[in-house]
């Protein structure tokens, strides 16, 4: 039995959804993957933007801005993922003022949750405004990924998050790397945990490929206060292709038992999964269905989640 890790406390955390739409049409993306050789293909061999122009109009990306204030009054901003299509990210960054924040040095670091194209390949849009931004990548990142960061003009530090121990980035904010292996040979995913004063913890995921229940259980056994999860934000990868079965049913059932007060899932969670959550009375945070998000069922592009 190891002692629970005390990561400090946040007074508040605001999460702005810059973009949760990985792409416009799922069928097109999966047909591209099949044509390229199937799910075991190296993603860098698929000529999607910015490496090629294949179905450029279908490419969007996942990215969020986190604004944290600690109980000691200090504050920080972090970019969580950089999206995919540089044209789409340029547009969303301009619409949400992210370009100015980067230029003014108001964002302290970029967290890359995992190497998937829709979370990472738009990094040029970020680095154009702030080439020396500190970048966190998960253990398992490929040489092609590190090379790509450099080729996009990065001059700052790249920190690889080890799977053994979470990194405390700021009082009340810890980044943990989960070993996992998934579609298109991507390995390792960084998940952010925040400890909110009086409320409990919040968990921020890109896709949650490690399994949402595993990631919640990790918080319970790792962090002081981790048994009380107040909010979750991001992709939960339950029904990304909108198919449904008993195992997915069990995940949603089990999720109800964690007592989460705000379920702000989006991206690859799946509309079907969100509808099942609502049927079970889970407190799903609704959005406005603007800026390219296809539904108001959940937090979408331009919507924000205020915690604390
Ligand atoms: Fe994704
Ligand atoms: Fe992913």
105-130 per-position pLDDT tens digit: 999 999 999 999 999 999 999 999 99
Domains in the chain: ranges and CATH? 10-307 (3.60.15.10)
Using the mean position of ligand 1's atoms as its centre, give its distance from the Cα of residue 206 in Å. 6
Tokens of 280: 């079970």
Orientation of helix 212-222 relative to helix 246-256, angle to 10°: 30
Residues with CB under 5 A from ligand 2 (ion): 116, 207
- When pLDDT is averaged across residues 237-260 and rounded to a whole number, the result is 97
**Nearest Cα to Cα of residue 81 among 199, 198, 206:** 206
Using the mean position of ligand 2's atoms as its centre, give its distance from the Cα of residue 187 in Å. 10
Using the mean position of ligand 1's atoms as its centre, give its distance from the Cα of residue 73 in Å. 33
Q: How far apart are CA 120 and CA 80, in angstroms?
A: 10
Using the mean position of ligand 1's atoms as its centre, give its distance from the Cα of residue 20 in Å. 8
Q: DSSP letters along 74-85, please?
A: -EEEEEE---S-
Answer whether 213's CB lies under 8 Å from 255's CB: yes
Q: What is the pLDDT of residue 2?
A: 64
CA of 81, nearest ligand number? 1
pLDDT digits (tens, 9 = 90+) for 210-236: 999 999 999 999 999 999 999 999 999
Using the mean position of ligand 1's atoms as its centre, give its distance from the Cα of residue 8 in Å. 29
Task: Give the bridge partners for 307, in sequence order.
Answer: 13
Using the mean position of ligand 2's atoms as its centre, give its distance from the Cα of residue 62 in Å. 10
Whether pTM > 0.95 for this model: the answer is yes
Helix, strand or coil, per DSSP, at residue 132:
coil
Using the mean position of ligand 1's atoms as its centre, give its distance from the Cα of residue 34 in Å. 17
Helix, strand or coil, per DSSP, at residue 215:
helix
pLDDT digits (tens, 9 = 90+) for 153-206: 999 999 999 999 999 999 999 999 999 999 999 999 999 999 999 999 999 999
Helix, strand or coil, per DSSP, at residue 300:
coil
Task: Give the bridge partners for 170, in sequence order.
Answer: 173
Task: Give the bridge partners for 67, in sequence order.
Answer: 14, 77
Using the mean position of ligand 2's atoms as its centre, give its distance from the Cα of residue 142 in Å. 15
What does the DSSP 8-state code read for residue 201? E
Which residues are CB-neighbours of 29 under 8 A, at least 6 positions away?
A: 22, 23, 55, 58
Cα separations (Å) of 38 from 85, 87, 110, 246, 267? Answer: 21, 26, 30, 25, 22
What does the DSSP 8-state code read for residue 119? H
Cα separations (Å) of 72 from 10, 59, 171, 198? Answer: 9, 41, 9, 15
Q: How far apart are CA 3 and CA 21, in angstroms?
A: 39
Tokens of 197: 């004063």
Q: What is the pLDDT of residue 72?
A: 85
- When pLDDT is averaged across residues 135-144 and rounded to a whole number, the result is 98
CA of 23, nearest ligand number? 1
Using the mean position of ligand 1's atoms as its centre, give its distance from the Cα of residue 119 in Å. 6
């Amino acid at each position: 039995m190891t002692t629970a890790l005390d990561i400090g406390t946040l007074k508040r955390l605001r999460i702005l959804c810059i973009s949760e739409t990985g792409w416009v049409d799922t069928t097109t993306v999966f047909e591209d993957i099949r044509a390229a050789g199937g799910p075991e293909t190296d993603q860098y061999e698929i000529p999607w933007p910015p490496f090629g122009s294949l179905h450029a109009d279908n490419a969007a990306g996942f990215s969020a801005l986190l604004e944290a204030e600690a109980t000691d009054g200090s504050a920080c901003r972090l970019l969580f993922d950089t999206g995919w299509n540089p044209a789409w990210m340029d547009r969303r960054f301009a619409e949400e003022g992210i370009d100015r924040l980067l230029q003014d040095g108001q964002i302290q670091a970029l967290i890359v949750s995992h190497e998937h194209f829709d979370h990472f390949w738009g990094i040029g849009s970020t680095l154009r405004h702030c080439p020396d931004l500190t970048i966190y990548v998960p253990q398992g990142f490929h040489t092609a990924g590190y090379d790509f960061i450099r080729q996009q003009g990065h001059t700052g530090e790249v920190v690889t998050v080890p799977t053994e121990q979470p990194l405390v980035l700021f009082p009340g904010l810890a980044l943990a790397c989960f070993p996992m292996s998934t579609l298109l040979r991507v390995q390792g995913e960084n998940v952010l945990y925040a400890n909110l004063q009086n409320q409990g913890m919040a968990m921020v995921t890109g896709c949650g490929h490690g399994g949402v229940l595993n990631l919640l259980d990790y918080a319970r056994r790792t962090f002081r206060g981790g048994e009380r999860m107040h909010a979750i934000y991001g992709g939960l990868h339950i029904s990304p292709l909108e198919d449904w079965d008993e195992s997915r049913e069990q995940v949603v059932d089990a999720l109800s038992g964690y007592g989460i007060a705000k379920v702000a899932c989006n991206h690859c969670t799946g509309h079907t999964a969100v509808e099942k959550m609502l049927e079970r009375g889970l407190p799903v945070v609704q959005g406005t269905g603007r800026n390219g998000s296809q539904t108001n069922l959940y937090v979408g592009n331009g919507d924000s989640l205020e915690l604390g």
